[in-house]
Amino acid sequence: MGAFELNALIILQLLGWVYLPVFIACGVSTLPEYMTKRFGGKRIRIYLAILSLLLYIFTKISVDLFAGAIFIRTALGWNLYLSIFLLLVLTVVCVMTGGLTAVIYTEVIQCFIMVIGSAILMVMSLVKIGGFSSLYSKYMRAMPNTTYFPSSNSSAVCGKPLPDAWIMLRGADDPVMPWPAFLLGQVPAAMWYWCADQMIVQRALSARSLSHAQGGTTLAGYIKILPVFLLVIPGMISRVLFPDEVGCADPDICAAVCDNRAGCSNIAYPKLVMAIMPEGLRGIMMAVMMAALMSDMASIFNSASTLFTMDIYPYIRKKYTVKELLITGRCFVLIMFIIGILWIPVVQNVQGGQLFVYIQAVSAYLAPPVAAVYCVAILWKRGNEKGAFTGLIFGLVIGVIRMATDFFNPEPPCGEPDLRPGIVKNFQYMYFATLSFWTTMLVMVVVSLLTLPPSDEMLNRTTYWTRFDKKITAGESIECTADGVIGNQEYINLDERKSDGSSAIDNSVKQQETENVSIVPKPVSKKSFFHKLLIWYCGFSESEQEEIKINEHRHHLEMISSLEQDPCAKAFLKANLVIVLLAAVFLYTFFSWNF
């Protein structure tokens, strides 16, 4: 886990210094929208929106609900699906009365509380086991009492810690963390999550300026150093203190402990919180962890709504009202959450029941082609729509095949013979990500070179090399009307409720075919108190407020798209960029060296 967090540290700087300047310069609200500006056409935009929604179901919604249910079950002993239902209801209530701004503010507060609480937990748990010096020896001996499987064909020792558990990047043939696959495959897979995922990037796009956005990614990089110590170390201590539960090896025992026959490593952190921390701190820590999960799901809710209403729904229905868009987007996301709940049994049983490994594996199957197309779009001006779309389809086909093969051939329990096909058993998922990323990029380059290059209009402020171009591309001029339409690109402002520029879904909806779109204004009528209360709660705004917010949004886009930065602020940011990258290199080297 520590290696993935340090990897995120580096990729976040790539977002702040390479990707974000381009996204801001061309004035996009969603990432699929960027693809339309860069390549033209509709199919890449629709494809990426649909793929992002599927990845939300597989790697975010189901995982967040499952993780939250584990916390509730560990703390209160509730049924798994009752806990999931409670989480979903609370999240829906919070989202209906909040938005992106509410999510960001609450996450800032939660960040400080979680860092302080996690630091207290780490110190208390280290004191309990005798410090770092004794952690190493005790961890290597932390085996459950029931260590052997009753298998007549195997004498394998199950539940024993890996001998290289303290090494971060390991040999090329390591089944868990091979360093060549991590550097060449996992890094591109992470580029989708941190640089090309609407849920993450929308926070940076809401910044007041490019300097604010880059400062945010730099600060996030510093914070990403902490999980190596605040999460990984306590997780290992939990294994030392509770070897029969956290480190259980017998499927029957695991099922009795955590209701998961594949393993109980997922309960390590909440188990430690409940056992080590005193009552007051324990309650605060559990509340903050639950609030963080709910905040994450609220972000998913906002991002998925944005993608659906801005990149998919306009092609399904040409005429709609503002309320229709809001209601349709939220109903669609509720359907996504239901599908995510149905997917939870798969999450429980694949990848040995390890939640974090499951997330990385699914991302490695489906995300590298998306990362490849964004790299080509931003860094290579010769790349065109035909090459990008062909590469995406090629990567999707091989990714779905590998994902299905992996899910239908799960890893056998420890001590049992491994009868999986060699392509699954011997081809680690990070090596597959390497193959997927580089072959997809090769397909894109070859097809682009065999077809016509993109027009100069499509390259204007849509690549890293043209981000400072001053020419205005066709359809980019902005004119505000009372109906909430912005220029030729038809932004229907859906900003929520408190004139704070909250959620991206509530900010604007882009229409490609302006001649077929009509916004149906509602007649002014006197509303009852309860009607007004419902309108406020659901986030519907009056037309006058909408026009004011559209003008604010327009001014904000014009102001930040110039990419102007204060020289002193830029120098300060560059200095911190160098420091945070050197820190990542040092930690990788230190924890990968076999002392």
d(CA 551, CA 555): 6
Q: Tell me the pairing of strands 518-519 and 319-320.
A: parallel
Q: Locate the domains of the chain by residue range.
A: 2-148+167-201+225-457
d(CA 377, CA 235): 40
Which tens digits make up the pLDDT trace of 147-180? 545 454 444 567 788 888 888 888 888 888 899 9
Q: 285-289, 307-311, 363-367, 439-443: which has the minimum mean pLDDT? A: 285-289
Provide the pLDDT for residue 162.
82
Paired with 523 in beta bridges are none
d(CA 68, CA 71): 5
d(CA 578, CA 218): 10
Which alpha helices (DSSP H) does 261-384 contain, by range? 268-276, 279-311, 313-316, 322-349, 355-366, 368-379
Q: Tokens standing for 304?
A: 């998925």
Neighbours of 5 (CB within 10 A): 18
Owner of token pair 């930065």: 565
The answer to whether residue 481 scores a pLDDT higher than 80 is no
Which tens digits make up the pLDDT trace of 24-38? 998 887 888 899 999
Q: What is the mean pLDDT of the chain?
A: 79
Which tens digits make up the pLDDT trace of 86-137? 777 777 666 665 555 666 777 787 788 888 888 999 999 999 998 888 898 8
Provide the pLDDT for residue 326.
77
d(CA 476, CA 185): 37
The answer to whether residue 68 scores a pLDDT higher than 70 is yes
Please name which of 284, 342, 281 lies closest in space to residue 57, comparing C-alpha atoms. Answer: 342
Into which CATH architecture does domain 2-148+167-201+225-457 fall? Up-down Bundle (1.20)
**pLDDT tier at 9, thresholds 50, 70, 90:** very high
**pLDDT tier at 265, thresholds 50, 70, 90:** confident
* Burial of 180 from C-beta contacts in 10 A (0-12 / 13-18 / 19+): middle
d(CA 543, CA 437): 46
d(CA 134, CA 23): 49
Which tens digits make up the pLDDT trace of 537-558? 555 555 445 455 556 656 666 6
**pLDDT tier at 262, thresholds 50, 70, 90:** confident
- Residue 388 CA to its chain's centroid (Å): 23
Provide the pLDDT for residue 283.
82
Q: 295-304, 325-334, 459-468, 510-519: which has the minimum mean pLDDT? A: 510-519
519 phi/psi in degrees, rounded to 5: -95, 125
CA distances from 152 to 155, 156, 250, 416, 417 (A): 8, 11, 15, 9, 11
